[in-house]
Structure 1
């Protein structure tokens, strides 16, 4: 952890625990919260390549003095950072949301979508450009906040008017799956190895240049169907913001290969 200008602090990003996933919260080193005068439930700006609002809560006992911030994959994506990246946090100026306009990233018809999104977002801060992941009947849908009234970071309340557009937004044109590391359970060792072989060379190629060694050319994941091979690949692509193409055996050979 290091101090930035004013009341800004730079922290290292680490994974959120499963109990915090999807809640829009950031767990911050308790010592940093004390220094910044932050209280549980305050709204902060998490700034990486972009800015994302989050509700701050104290980190866990093991986080004290480590200078870490625990945020889930959705918040990492909105802030434009990955695990072990650095982010700047500061207390946010928040206004009450009069209106929030949301658009899907793919064609979808959702009956009662405005009421459902209001229940989901009530008590949470949002801002223009923020992505929202919604689980509906086991399927994950991604929405983007395209406008807010007033502008800036706003807090959604019971009186907020939620407008759900039918036409998919043009703001998220990239072939990257919305899968995060927190979506994968029981494969911690495999994830660690894959991150070392894929994520590290993509995010920090200068390390390999300095050491004079070649980065891995690729990685082979093998195992029975349904064990999480494709899910791991999708999660890594999402975390490093890489283009993702999925090809199955039957698509290029015949239906008996897969």
Structure 2
């Protein structure tokens, strides 16, 4: 459907690996023409929220009524595969400043210059999720992209390819294109000296001194360091505590679509069993959450379970696989029987449990 300056299309999950998580969408050439766009122009996309992306041509077999977008873009507009979305041309403005949040491992080692190079030419809006995967719109950018990839590989390993950042601030707030002149920084990277604690230990070799009156208006003595501040403690560093509170559901960056789908399934089984009775079935639900190592599969499950009021118990698939088949099946049955109600049994590394071509008691349990 077309109205003045806009086009309503069907959101379609794109499978093109070269476009994935790079802020690129693809449209049929006729759709580009209807919007008055050329390949490489920016397009505004509205679902439950609005974002912007770079529009390129889809192949000749593409549907004229489809918007081809990756999971990150679909999450940014709050749409699922098959939802109607509204498109319109958007005026691009070079971003003056962009502030991002991200995993602590990235914040600690990725400097602002590398961050800007990874995001170069991407169009962002405040609240968007973005990846570190560089966008390449021409051979002239190939050397810069290669250098950025090398830097990220050296600092973060291959984990950088699946990391998701969030745009906390952008100037302007919508349709901001990141350029070589954009000031890109991590949230909280700059703090005023007044925000620092007043009782920080002094550097080694320094003694407590009286602050001159001219600095503060009144004379005040700096607190001398105590022995506990100058001597390294022999107490072991605190260890990670099991049962750390899950990330709040609303703060799941980059996983909005799978999290919402999982939430609907669990909510139906736990809180709306009357619906299941109407259709003559019962709650016997197993959900396979797949993805690369470190992508946050277990994090999604824990957060969604908390959102629907269910408790999570965890068991290791590799530990079960190390047992004799019947013993492993018995342990799995015991774990299910011990679940709280409502409860979710999270089997980490489930691929270890069902070797192809060999029927075991454990495989039978999972197939049911």
TM-score of the pair, normalised by structure 1: 0.69
Question: What is the Cα deviation at residue 149 of structure 1?
Answer: 2.0
Give CA-to-partner distance per residue, 1:205-241, whole Å, 9 cap, x none.
9xxx8xx7468845336xxxxxxx3327x78x97xxx
Q: Does 1:243 align with 2:241?
A: no
Find the residue that maps to 2:165 and give its secondary structure: strand
Cα distance in 2 for partners of 1:112, 1:125 equals 20
Q: Which of 69, 72, 77 is matched with 1:71 structurally?
A: 69
Q: Does 1:150 align with 2:209?
A: no
TM-score of the pair, normalised by structure 2: 0.50
Q: Which has the higher contact order (CA 8 A, sep 6+)?
A: 1
Change (3 A) 1:100 1:8: same
Q: What are structure 2's unaligned runs of at least 5 residues?
A: 134-155, 190-246, 307-311, 324-330, 332-346, 348-368
Name the structure 2 match of 1:45.
Answer: 44
Q: Which of 158, 161, 166 is matched with 1:138 structurally?
A: 158
Q: Does the 8 Å contact 1:13/1:86 carry over to 2? A: yes
Name the structure 2 match of 1:9.
Answer: 7
Change (3 A) 1:213 1:7: farther
Structure of higher CA gyration radius = 2
Question: Which 4+ runs in 1 deviate beyond 6 A?
Answer: 253-256
Q: Does 1:95 align with 2:93?
A: yes
Change (3 A) 1:87 1:215: farther
Aligned residues: 218
Name the structure 2 match of 1:34.
Answer: 33
Change (3 A) 1:57 1:216: farther
Give CA-to-partner distance per residue, 1:39-90, whole Å, 9 cap, x none.
000001111001111000111211143x001100110111111111111011
Cα distance in 1 for partners of 2:58, 2:313 equals 41
**Alignment RMSD, CA only?**
3.9
Cα distance in 2 for partners of 1:122, 1:112 equals 15
Question: What is the Cα deviation at residue 100 of structure 1?
Answer: 0.9
Name the structure 2 match of 1:123.
Answer: 121
Give CA-to-partner distance per residue, 1:90-116, whole Å, 9 cap, x none.
111111111111122667543233122
Q: What are structure 1's unaligned runs of at least 5 residues?
A: 183-193, 222-228
Change (3 A) 1:85 1:250: same
Question: What is the Cα deviation at residue 28 of structure 1?
Answer: 1.0
Name the structure 1 match of 2:108.
Answer: 110
Q: Does the 8 Å contact 1:108/1:166 carry over to 2? A: no
Cα distance in 1 for partners of 2:182, 2:92 equals 14
Cα distance in 1 for partners of 2:92, 2:37 equals 14
Name the structure 1 match of 2:212.
Answer: none
Cα distance in 2 for partners of 1:46, 1:214 equals 41
Name the structure 2 match of 1:231.
Answer: 290
Find the residue that maps to 1:61 and give its secondary structure: coil
Q: Does the 8 Å contact 1:177/1:244 carry over to 2? A: no
Find the residue that maps to 2:173 and give its secondary structure: coil
Find the residue that maps to 2:79 and give its secondary structure: coil
Name the structure 1 match of 2:366.
Answer: none
